[in-house]
Amino acid sequence: MAKDYRFIEKDPCVDLLRTMLQGRQARGTITRLAAEANLAPSTLMKIFYGDTKRPQNLTVEKLLIAMGYQRQLVKLETKLAIDNTSR
pTM above 0.85, yes or no: no
- The region, left, alpha or beta by phi > 0 then psi within -120 to 50, assigned to residue 28 is left
B/e letters for 19-33, b = 16+ CB within 10 Å, e = fewer, are: eebeeeeeeeebeeb
| CA–CA dist 77, 31 (Å, integer) | 40
| Domain 9-87 listed as CATH 1.20.140 | no
Encode pLDDT of 56-87 as tens digits: 999 999 999 999 889 888 888 876 655 555 55
| CA–CA dist 46, 27 (Å, integer) | 19
Span 14-21, average pLDDT: 88
| CA–CA dist 65, 36 (Å, integer) | 9
Encode pLDDT of 40-54 as tens digits: 999 999 999 999 999
Sorted by where each begins, the domain ranges of the chain are 9-87
Radius of gyration of the CA atoms of the chain, in A: 18
